[in-house]
Structure 1
Amino acid sequence: MDLVAENENEVLCEKIINDIQAVFLKDPDLSTFEIIPTILNRNKTPVVHAEHHLGLESWCVKHVYDHAHKAIIGYRRQHQSRYLQHSDVLLKYLNVALLINTDVATFWNIRRQMVQTNHLKINCEFKFSALILSKKPKSSEAFAYRRWLYSFQSHDAIDWPSEFGICDRCADRSANNYHAWTHRQWVLQNAPDLIRSELMITEKFMRKHISDYSSYHYRQTLIERAYELCYYESNELEHLHNLKDLISYYLEDDLEILSTADVLQILLPGVDRAAVGEPRLSSFLYCCNLAAHDIRLCDDQKNMYGERESFENHRRSSLRFIVENCVRLLLGELPGLYLTPRTYGQLQEFNAALKKFDYATNAFLSALKRSEGLLGDSHRKWCTIFLGFNYA
């Protein structure tokens, strides 16, 4: 490229970048960004803006990104530690560069520095990162940036349902979106009072995206978190339909008329209720009922759609939750106060206790062991490794 053509290219790129920045200034409520596939320059601006949506025609993307990248690096080299003093000019290049390539950690770090020096407003940065995620819903850098921004916010001032909504949209747009579901787990840790709504939302997602195992794994984390917090719904304890159906299936008996106390006696015969505590026992029944519901859901999904690895893995995880927590409560003296072991040593200790447990002393677990052993060699091997069943 000769000097004249190069100068023309730089002028054109600068104009496009200025047009994009003008859209940012004009419309602070931009919600989506997309690159529009086009082959040729049609001698008009490639920046498209309509109803809070921003688009950039693909023919100019490479040139614009190269120009923005070069400008950002140039400012850093030329002005060194004082480059943030040129934040207004630097920002327009950062906006464009990150819209096109969201995975450059250096650019996100510059934005962090601009936030720390009050050159950028935090509320605007939340909007910008959400805009980035509309283009690339699997952007780990954008999710990490949002978590970093929240460190400056008061917990009570954060709209956690809105953050769940962003995770929803990202997971819906991109299958097996590990980064969105990991971010959602982080939100759950900070907003446990939203467990009930999360239980409903995740079931809908699992029914819609039958092969997206990330949602199934989050569901498992959600149930474990509910149990950890001793969460339960009192009205659900009056029925426990799914758990009763599961017990009836394994024991081959109709338990429709059983009370909650009877169900507890079947699962945990002889348990020291005073030592465990009523809240823990109530949460145990509630979460086991959720796990039983998921086992039935997986069976229904398999009958409707055929075999799926996600169905089988989630069924096994739900089954494991019930068996492991029955054993924990029956043994009583285990690390973590009846919760999932936190350290490797605790895990090893629990696995040893699980393998030594005498399942013959519990009619329900014995029937479960026998029934699951009929599902093939592969499943028997899984039960032996993860549930401590000995089929010898």
Structure 2
Amino acid sequence: MAPLITPVQTSLDLPEATTVVVIGGGIIGLVAALVLAERGTPVVVLEKGRIAGEQSSRNQGWIRKMSRSAPDVPLAMAADPLWNGLAARVGADVGYRRAGILYLARNESELAVHQDWLDSVQDLALDSRQISALRIGLLAPGGRGHWAGGLYTPSDGRAEPTLAASAIARAAMAKGAVIVEHCAVRTLSLAAGRIAGVVSERGEIRCEQVLLAGGLWSRRFLGNQGIDLPTLPLVASILRTAPVQGPCDITVGAPDFSFRKRLDGGFTISHRGVLNAPLTLDSLLLGRRYLGALRGQWQNLQPSIGRELFDDLLLGRRWRADQVSPFERVRTLDPPADPRVNAEALRNLATAWPMFKDAVVKQAWSGALDVTPDSLPVIGPVAKIPGLTLASGFSGHGFGTAPAAGQLAADLICATRPIVDPRPYRLERF
């Protein structure tokens, strides 16, 4: 069951022309549309299903700089003040709280990993630091876990995924953006090799530029254009509880559980030690590119062979503009949550903090991450098709960096000074 998103009344009419078309109504595309609208640039967002129906509402709501790879930290740093001012900007509470994030380590080996990360970002102005087991007990009292120490970043925070994208969408529309749901883009329309418009299931829209922010679907869309974007799906199972008296406002991640406080008084909980890796055709096509990641940060994968492989093959890889596209066949990707993984996460948490033993599970869901070989997104122009910009492959980090990532995409479209150096995110690095 998917999280319940705050509803937004979007447009029923499809414009004939605009300046920029955004493909994908997730939080990245919506932020880009808001920025463009604020700058007076006509923009239309086309979403195959409902806005934020996939990972933008299914993530855990963490906003962190901590433990990001060094090239990605500046984007996360740029997002912090934008999150802080977002409620005033969009006229609604999006649940942003700068309450800190704490990673727990059970042994010296895990602490060494945190120290290696601190060493890699020592030239950046971060407030991250290692803390003792005693300090963990003061920050998150009532625990019975045995920790060697932890990594703590007071300036990290959290927000509510089911509120944020909707509030951004409403603000973008108030500034003049047009958002159309249940309208899949099938392909691009080109003239002299560059963008001239997009062909949707409801007809063509002429435009000068396109931003592809389709999440996990961007690889398939680009593949139909003869462009390779290396991303693979990973599926995370998550649950939320009824209101419960938790240990702290800080978001906490241990090796085999995590929790963060919600606005409704409950907690969002997940198992940090397990991610499902459904095997698809792309697993075979791209697997070698991910060998380094499998030996590093993605050691906790749980491969599976199931209906995902057959569903993927049935969707097809090539289609014409006059044919029904994969994006119309699957409006919303809704993988089932793994009850065993969620139950284990809650047990592990209750062992460490017994106050969660009587927590009532209100809902469980899962979300599919679009992961690149280096876990960095692609944000930048697609050289093969002038006028096409890409913002995808966020590898589970998109929600936290969204205000800055969406602005970076808009900056590149507008050819203005980018909010951060875009070079780490170039498609050509692959």
Normalised by the shorter chain, which TM-score bucket?
Answer: under 0.3
The higher radius of gyration belongs to 1
TM-score (norm 2): 0.25
Q: Identify the structure with bigger relative contact order (alpha carbons < 8 Å, sequence gap 6+).
A: 2
Which structure shows the bigger proportion of residues in strand conformation?
2
Which structure shows the bigger proportion of residues in helix conformation?
1
TM-score (norm 1): 0.26
